[in-house]
């Protein structure tokens, strides 16, 4: 059975994407990613994504359309990412080193984790269609 990690490609009203800088583990610290985390037993993907964004960022999100399929991670994990918008709160880095809003032109300005990079490109392509 595949273990699932969910991620939120949070986009604001200006079309900017929220990037979160990893604090741990040491091998990934400093890299940039989509906020999110592991799906708990008995939890569906959307519920996990909303919960993770509340825990990590202190915001309530509305989950939108999925970006791609199952993106492979290490150790048998897959990453599932959805577009999302914040419906309540201002994001704060509770579990990350920092947060950055990136315009489409700035998406390459941070060092995305290798697993997240193809998803960043898919999100960019999706946002350019709008």
Q: pLDDT (tens digit, 9 = 90+) per residue, 6-43?
A: 999 999 999 999 999 999 999 889 999 999 999 999 99
pTM of the model: 0.94
- Report residue 77 as tokens: 């994990």
**Angstrom distance (rounded) from CA 122 to CA 101:** 17
**Between the CA of residue 38 and those of 5, 48, 76, 97, 102, what are the distances in Å?**
4, 7, 12, 19, 24
Arithmetic mean of pLDDT, 45-68: 97
Domains of the chain: 3-129 (3.90.79.10)
């Amino acid at each position: 059975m595949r273990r699932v990690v969910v991620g939120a490609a949070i986009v604001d009203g200006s079309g900017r994407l929220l990037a979160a800088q990893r604090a741990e583990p040491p091998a990934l610290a400093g890299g940039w990613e989509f906020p999110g985390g592991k799906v708990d037993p008995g939890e569906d993907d959307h519920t996990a994504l909303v919960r993770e964004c509340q825990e990590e960022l202190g915001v309530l999100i509305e989950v939108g359309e999925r970006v791609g399929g199952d993106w492979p991670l290490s150790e048998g994990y897959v990453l599932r990412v959805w577009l999302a918008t914040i419906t309540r709160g201002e994001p704060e880095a509770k579990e990350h080193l920092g947060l950055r809003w990136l315009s489409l032109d700035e998406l390459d300005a941070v060092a995305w984790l290798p697993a997240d990079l193809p998803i960043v490109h898919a999100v960019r392509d999706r946002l350019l269609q709008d």
